């Protein structure tokens, strides 16, 4: 039986809950602000609270792998439980791992996060194309086979990003090459007017960079993960200038402002719903 493509599942979730993806970022300062110890036990309490608050209430949830990995194997076990909890809640997971390598090593990362048999499987994972877009092929192919997705770093919100992403070779920017690859992989979804399963990460604070570089984000049919909202300075209203015709593809994400409402489950859920409602208003894409 063919798996339902991730892009179709994400489109349905965004239409139902609004285009917002809260993060689960259990760094030490947040654990402290929640009155939790900076231990694997505190990590587990934090993650369970987030799953309870966000499960069934938002389109997608983005755990940040690094904040689990810092506790070693015990932290990775908590990450496995967190992903399993989101699956049980019927909520899509996007694991923010930003993996990128070549050959069998990339295939190993792909299996870890995108195989249906892996305890670390997520519905989608972030990947880095800076060993060449083609180096991502093991992840792209496995995601397509299992109905999962990948989000490719394209225009990131960190100040160092443009030195690589805006660089030009043979008259084309590095970012344009990434968009070309994503567009080709989403060709079938684009032809049927759907959302593809290969997404891009485009920061909410990159301003007019996509336009300046001549990138056709709308034509890519890619879901566009837009980090940088809230604490990093991005506003929902600014997304209109950044994404233009691609606004219906935008999935906004924020962590610190929403997580600051914890540890109360109801307050966390309300903060996530408020962020989703603000995006619906800003993007003029009301849930159906």
Q: Provide Rg for the chain, Cα atoms.
A: 18
DSSP state of 26: -
Residue 7 has pLDDT above 90, yes or no: yes
Q: How do the domains of the chain map onto residue ranges?
A: 6-281
Give the residue numbers annotated as catalytic, written as ranges: 98
Q: Judge contact between 205 and 157, C-beta under 8 A.
A: yes
pLDDT (average), residues 127-134: 97
227 neighbors 204 (Cβ within 8 angstroms): yes
Nearest by Cα to 226 from 236, 214, 216: 236
Q: Which residues 6+ apart lie within 8 Å of 128 measured at CB?
A: 98, 99, 100, 152, 153
C-alpha to C-alpha distance for 97 and 74, rounded to whole angstroms: 17
Helices marked H in the chain: 6-17, 28-33, 40-54, 65-69, 73-89, 103-114, 137-146, 162-165, 174-185, 187-191, 209-212, 239-243, 256-259, 265-283
Residues 135, 269: Cα–Cα separation, whole Å: 38
Q: How confident is the model at residue 288 (pLDDT cuts 50, 70, 90)?
A: very low
* Burial of 163 per CB tally in 10 Å (0-12, 13-18, 19+): exposed
CB-based burial, 146-158: b 16+ in 10 Å, e otherwise? bbbbbbbbbbbbe
Share of the chain above pLDDT 90, in %: 85
pLDDT-wise least confident of 16-20, 157-161, 167-171, 235-239: 235-239
Asked if residue 157 lies in contact with residue 228, where contact means CB atoms within 8 angstroms, the answer is: yes
Nearest to 58 by CA among 88, 24, 13, 5: 13
Q: Which of 16-30, 51-65, 189-203, 240-254 shows the lowest mean pLDDT across its residues?
A: 240-254
pLDDT tens digits, 26-67: 999 999 999 999 999 999 999 999 999 999 999 999 999 999
Per-residue pLDDT band at 278 (split at 50, 70, 90):
confident
In this prediction, residue 234 carries a pLDDT of 62
Q: Tell me which residue of 40, 123, 45, 114 sits closest to 89, measured CA to CA.
A: 123
**pLDDT in the model for residue 240:** 78
d(CA 152, CA 128): 6
Fold annotation for 6-281 = TIM Barrel (3.20.20)
| pLDDT mean across residues, the chain | 94
pLDDT digits (tens, 9 = 90+) for 81-105: 999 999 999 999 999 999 999 999 9
* Bridge pairing between strands 168-169 and 149-155: unpaired
- Could you tell me which residue, 136 or 157, shows the higher pLDDT? 136
Calpha distance 197→195 (Å, rounded):
7
Backbone angles phi, psi at 168, to 5 degrees: -115, 135
Which residues, in sequence order, are bridge partners of residue 200? 152, 224
* Tokens coding 216: 């056709």
pLDDT number for residue 54: 98
């Amino acid at each position: 039986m063919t798996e339902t493509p991730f892009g179709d599942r994400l489109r349905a979730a965004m239409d139902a809950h609004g285009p917002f993806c809260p993060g689960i970022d259990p760094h030490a300062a947040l654990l402290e602000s929640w009155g939790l110890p900076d231990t694997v036990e505190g990590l587990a309490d934090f993650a369970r609270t987030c799953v309870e608050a966000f499960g069934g209430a938002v389109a997608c949830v983005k755990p940040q792998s690094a904040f689990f990995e810092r506790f070693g194997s015990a932290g990775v076990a908590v990450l496995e439980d967190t992903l399993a909890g989101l699956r049980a809640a019927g909520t899509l997971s996007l694991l923010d791992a930003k993996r990128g390598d070549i050959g069998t090593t990339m295939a190993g990362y792909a299996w870890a996060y995108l195989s249906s048999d892996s305890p670390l499987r997520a519905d989608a994972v972030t990947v880095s194309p800076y060993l060449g877009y083609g180096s991502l092929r093991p992840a792209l192919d496995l995601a397509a086979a299992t109905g999962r997705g990948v989000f490719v770093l394209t225009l990131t919100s960190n100040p160092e990003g443009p030195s690589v992403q805006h660089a030009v070779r043979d008259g084309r920017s590095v970012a344009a090459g990434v968009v070309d690859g994503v567009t080709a992989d989403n060709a079938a979804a684009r032809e049927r007017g759907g959302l593809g399963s290969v997404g891009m990460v485009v920061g909410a604070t990159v301003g007019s960079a996509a336009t300046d570089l001549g990138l056709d984000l709308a034509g890519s049919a890619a879901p566009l993960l837009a980090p940088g909202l809230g604490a990093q300075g991005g506003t929902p209203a600014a997304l209109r200038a950044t994404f233009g015709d691609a606004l219906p593809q935008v999935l906004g994400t924020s962590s610190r402002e929403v997580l600051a409402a914890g540890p109360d489950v109801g307050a966390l859920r309300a903060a996530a719903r408020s962020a989703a409602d603000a995006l619906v208003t800003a993007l003029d894409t009301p849930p159906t």
